Amino acid sequence: MILILQSKATDDQVDHVIEKVESLGLKAHLSRGTYRTIVGIIGDESKLSEERLRSIPGVSEVVPVLPPYKLASLEAHPEPSVVNVSGVQIGGGHLGMIAGPCSVEDADRMHRIAKSVRDAGANLFRGGAYKPRTSPYAFQGLGEDGLKILREVGDEYGMPIVTEVTDPRNVELVAKYADMLQVGARNMQNFVLLTEVGRTSRPVLLKRGMSATIKDLLMSAEYVLSQGNPNVVLCERGIKGFDTITRNLFDVAAVPAVKALTHLPIIVDPSHATGRPDLIPPCALAGIAAGADGVHVEVHDCPEEAKSDGPQALLPDQYQELAKQMRQLAELFQKTISPLPEALA
Ligand code: PEP
Ligand code: MN
């Protein structure tokens, strides 16, 4: 941490800053320039609060040397993390291919969709049993019945399952059925929920909030990591833009930008990012080309009957074609796609 003092800081204030730092058991290194005085702090910075330092009289700026997302940072863990979702690897050169409908629907339909995405090459099956909807009158999900269907279908087709948890009170229940817990965009800063999922041993798919910065996303990941759960996969799913032609603004640059800051894997979700089936394939491929560790796509066999997000669903055939292209691109970038785990297949 470096403290930049105000240009008119008095000698008494400078002495006070040094005393304060030393009283915390740290060393202060004073450097007086013509216009500015700087105090470098040497020692265990975990004891320091940036806000408290900024309130010492005479201090103008506090410049952290290490990022505040300590566990998520590349400094803490220079090698890319590989997250294992019941045998399917994501990160460190392994692509997660997540596909399935937005919501869990009736069992027959779920069987049909799971079979089609599995045959196309997806290695993780998704579907929401608890849906965070803008309207309280919209379909809210099948709840535990939906979790049961998802588990049964996952087991039948040998695919680990990913499903959203929206409420800290349901974390234990959802973790009983799911292989991976999704924290959705709307809950990215639900700190109680992040803490609860951090206390489980289930991998977490953490989606970027639509108005969240990359730093906000990494701080949310830090909540999960700080509870002892190291298995976090980030997801870029589009942020608020001003254009109404697409549902959100697909921030593809976030992928390499995130990779320059953290060891955690990051996947893309072109379905929510664009909201348009015709834009999903190019954006999925752009995500892989940008270095994403996986792609999350919503697929439905009859979008007009979908309980949610029908307009952005890919048909099974369209997903099959996209999956083929994603495999070709993965090969070009020397990425591997985990086969379905033996234990489940
Ligand atoms: C979803 O995955 O269906 C979903 C609601 O995603 P998001 O939180 O990104 O909107
Ligand atoms: Mn959806």
Strands (E) in 200-299, as ranges, are: 204-207, 232-236, 266-268, 294-298
Pocket test for ligand 1, best of 103, 166, 186 (most atoms within 8 A of CB): 186
Give 291's pLDDT tier (boundaries 50, 70, 90).
Answer: very high
pLDDT value of residue 48? 83
pLDDT value of residue 321? 98
pLDDT value of residue 188? 98
Nearest CA to ligand 1 atom 10: 185
Ligand 2: distance of its center to the CA of 131 in Å? 8
Pocket test for ligand 1, best of 113, 208, 269, 296 (most atoms within 8 A of CB): 269
Nearest CA to ligand 1 atom 1: 102
Whether 233 contacts 203, CB under 8 Å: yes
Checking if the pLDDT of 307 tops 90, the result is yes
Q: Show me where the domains of the chain are located.
A: 2-63, 83-337
What CATH number belongs to 2-63?
A: 3.30.70.1140
Pairing of strands 2-5, 59-63: antiparallel
SS3 308: coil
Closest ligand to the CA of 248: 1
The four Cα atoms 281, 282, 284, 287 give a dihedral, to 10 degrees, of 180
Checking if the pLDDT of 343 tops 80, the result is no
Whether 281 contacts 290, CB under 8 Å: no
pLDDT value of residue 221? 98
Give 107's pLDDT tier (boundaries 50, 70, 90).
Answer: very high
Checking if the pLDDT of 345 tops 60, the result is no
Mean pLDDT for the stretch of residues 46-68: 90
For the stretch 223-278, pLDDT in tens is 999 999 999 999 999 999 999 999 999 999 999 999 999 999 999 999 999 999 99
Please tell me the distance from the alpha carbon of residue 29 to that of residue 42, in angstroms, as a whole number. 8
Closest ligand to the CA of 310: 2
- List the structure tokens of 37: 């005085």
Mean pLDDT for the stretch of residues 197-205: 98
Please tell me the distance from the alpha carbon of residue 31 to that of residue 27, in angstroms, as a whole number. 13
Cα torsion 92, 331, 179, 204: sign = positive
Pocket of ligand 1 contains residue 102 by CB under 6 Å: yes
Closest ligand to the CA of 313: 2
User: Which atom of ligand 1 is least distant from the CA of 296?
Assistant: 2
Pocket of ligand 1 contains residue 259 by CB under 6 Å: no
The four Cα atoms 77, 183, 178, 223 give a dihedral, to 10 degrees, of 40
What CATH number belongs to 83-337?
A: 3.20.20.70
Mean pLDDT for the stretch of residues 178-204: 98
Give 44's pLDDT tier (boundaries 50, 70, 90).
Answer: confident
- List the structure tokens of 325: 């292209």
Ligand 2: distance of its center to the CA of 316 in Å? 16
What are the beta bridge partners of residue 38?
4, 31
Mean pLDDT for the stretch of residues 175-190: 98
- Alpha helices (H) along 85-143: 107-120
The continuous run of DSSP H or E covering 11 comes out as helix 11-23
Q: Which amino acid is at 175?
A: A
Mean pLDDT for the stretch of residues 153-182: 98
Please provide the size of the chain in residues.
345
Give 344's pLDDT tier (boundaries 50, 70, 90).
Answer: low
Pocket of ligand 1 contains residue 263 by CB under 6 Å: no
Nearest CA to ligand 1 atom 4: 184
Per residue in 236-249, is it b (16+ CB within 10 Å) or e — as a string? bbbbeeeeeeebbe
pLDDT value of residue 49? 86
Percentage of the chain with pLDDT > 70? 99
Checking if the pLDDT of 2 tops 80, the result is yes
Pocket of ligand 1 contains residue 307 by CB under 6 Å: no
For the chain, what is the mean pLDDT?
96
Mean pLDDT for the stretch of residues 123-137: 97
Pocket of ligand 1 contains residue 272 by CB under 6 Å: yes
When computed from its CA atoms, the radius of gyration of the chain, rounded to whole angstroms, is 23
Whether 330 contacts 126, CB under 8 Å: no
Pocket of ligand 1 contains residue 184 by CB under 6 Å: yes
Mean pLDDT for the stretch of residues 63-73: 93
